[in-house]
Structure 1
């Protein structure tokens, strides 16, 4: 491991008669890696974010609510309280007709004890298959930013890790060169002149 002194800004770019070729190469590697890391991270994050937001916007346009009817009485008993908790909702079989006239059925959340034929709103795609309620524009923006940020961070980690590996190899090579030079010149220090 190399000894490190106080941090000096832009030290890699300053003139120094002791600077070796490996030091200049490392300076360019560091500059290139950081530039590539920023560019890759921003491009990946932006493109993924746009893709997610576009997909969610398409869902908001294509997915439609339909009225389904319970095919059977929902399990459980009806509560007399008007303020129904989410725990009093149960899964029940419902049937609906898609926009193209095809019949569909599936499990929906309904109040416990609801009678057969009770209307329930379901969201469907173009083919009439049941889907979840689409996210709002604000929720889509937040989701796109979060997913884009994670994708950008992960994409930026690739050139950063590659740069770290190259720098580690340059550091090892530089240490080996110093060892070779010390073994060559070290014994001369014991001699006295005069």
Structure 2
């Protein structure tokens, strides 16, 4: 219709630029461009400063936790003989490559340090017959369990938590930067619409 103001077309997104482009003098540079650039630089500096500190603190806390866990496990678990009360399944075939990595839960009989005989379930190789003896780790109550954490496992878990914490800081920084960019982008579009509403009538009015 004559005199109708056409809708404002959003400005094109910023093309790829060097890292410090928004800090340079440019007639097309907007205030939000400078603001976005400074916020990005601040977030980057904050991540580079905070991530190593966070990794050290979290890693130290994780190491203390897992070392204490390993000490407790060493004090409350021990290795002993266990006798199968029934045959273990024979599949896969004993001696095969698959058999080396396969274990079946089977009922076994153990004697605790206090001299009590009890049964528990432990994972054993395929094909073992009843009355076969295996070495397993048990708790003080005679329950089958995993061996205590080794120093290598403690180090591995400590490093894992340290890396996860540093990654979390980096992801948080990226999210803050992305959210800030979105808010500034919407602000630019709103100002663009306002400016177009004021300018469009001059272009579309009949002379």
Q: Under a length normalisation based on structure 1, what TM-score does the superposition of the two structures give?
A: 0.66
Equivalent runs, 1:158-177 vs 2, <5 Å: 158-177=172-191
Residues 6 and 19 of structure 1: is their aligned pair in 2 closer, same or farther, counting only changes over 3 Å?
A: closer
Residue 22 of structure 2 corresponds to which residue in structure 1? 12
Q: Structure 2 stretches of 5 or more lacking a match? A: 1-10
Cα-Cα RMSD: 4.0
Equivalent runs, 1:128-139 vs 2, <5 Å: 129-139=143-153
Q: Structure 1 stretches of 5 or more lacking a match? A: none
Residues 157 and 30 of structure 1: is their aligned pair in 2 closer, same or farther, counting only changes over 3 Å?
A: same
2:135 to 100, 104, 121: 121
Question: What SS does the aligned partner of 2:159 have?
Answer: helix
| In 1, Cα distance between equivalents of 2:136 and 2:168 | 37
| In 2, Cα distance between equivalents of 1:48 and 1:2 | 43
Residue 100 of structure 2 corresponds to which residue in structure 1? 86
| In 1, Cα distance between equivalents of 2:198 and 2:104 | 83
Q: Under a length normalisation based on structure 2, what TM-score does the superposition of the two structures give?
A: 0.63
Q: CA deviation at 1:149?
A: 2.8
Instruction: Give yes or no for contact 1:72–1:115 (8 Å, CA) kept in 2.
Output: yes
- 1:180 aligned onto 2:190: no
Residue 24 of structure 1 corresponds to which residue in structure 2? 34
Aligned residues between the structures: 187
Question: What SS does the aligned partner of 1:85 have?
Answer: helix
